[in-house]
Amino acid sequence: MVESLQIFEAIELKEVPFMETKEINEGGTIREILFNSDNEEKAYLLVDDDLKRIWTYNSEKCSFRLQIYGNILAHMVSRQLRLFYRVYPLNIYNKNDQKFQEILDKSISGGRANAITKDDFKSPTYGMNVGPDISVIQTLDVHKAIEYIEDIPKPEDFVRKFLIIGGNVFTDIETTESILAEEKSVRKPLKLGRLNRGFTLFDDEYSLRLIVNNRSVQGLELYVDKNSKPKALDLNIPVFEEERFSNAGSIDVLLNSFQIPDDPIEAVEDQSSNQDQSDDED
């Protein structure tokens, strides 16, 4: 396996299309580029031909605008490589994470990707207004969103209390799984219910993390410090709890609900009369 990556810098332009990439050929390792003090405001694309991945990386002082441009350019490189390469954000990893360190230690080399230039934006293959894959609004698959979010490392010294995907609210529960006579405890999201339409507000003690994949919001995570004792979740809109167990009922009640009165008009009048009498008594 070749321990090298192809690296591009995302460049912000002052005129349309406002962005392009420049391949970096100088330097020994990825670490020397990403952690150079002169590059603290830059964004990069790392192309891994072995794993078929394109890593995006935003330096500590990188502007939000340049971060957006870097993500767009990464997906343009993916389309250039016939969509065989998937885009992943390298910033989701802690700097001490083993995976992050392995990438930093890789050397810089050429590869299959070409730099994205102004001319690429004139082609319908890369045009920003062409093709369904550029759409910001997408149908969210809850199960895939959960899988994606669970693969992202959790913040250190924090515990996730709630997870919101679409209109659904989840919390983490600990379960015991048996694998070949070996038992281990795992934490999995448990659906609590669904949120009503509207905006949800939380107490200040909750730390909020927004998860985005391919410019589509996957979900919101609410974390608390491990050593804190937060109050109950304060929702300013109702949560409709889901019934997890079936309760025994009367078949007579069900059958009566389908019965049609002999005189529907008289039945409606009797019901209205009873309601008026009840209102008078109140």
Q: Which helix (H) or strand (E) holds 93?
A: none
Question: What do you get for the CA distance between the two ends of the chain, in Å?
Answer: 82
Query: What are the domain boundaries of the chain?
Result: 4-134, 142-241
Residue-by-residue DSSP string for 190-242:
EEEEEEPSS-----TTSEEEEEEETTEEEEEEEEEETT--PPPP--SS-EEEP
Closest by Cα among 80, 178, 68 to 121: 80
The pLDDT tens digits along the chain (282 residues) read 448 999 999 999 988 888 999 999 987 899 999 999 899 999 999 999 999 999 999 998 998 889 889 988 998 999 999 878 999 999 989 888 999 999 999 999 989 999 999 888 875 544 443 333 333 334 678 888 888 888 888 888 888 888 888 777 888 887 776 666 677 777 788 877 766 554 555 556 678 788 877 667 788 888 888 777 655 555 554 555 555 445 566 666 666 656 655 655 565 556 555 555 555 555
Query: What is the pTM for the complete model shown?
Result: 0.51
Q: How far apart are CA 39 and CA 33, in angstroms?
A: 7
CATH code matching the domain that covers 4-134, chosen among 3.30.70.1710, 3.40.20.10, 3.30.428.10, 3.40.309.10: 3.40.20.10
Whether the CB-CB separation of 219 and 202 falls below 8 Å is answered with no
- Evaluate whether 176 touches 245 at the Cβ level (below 8 Å): no
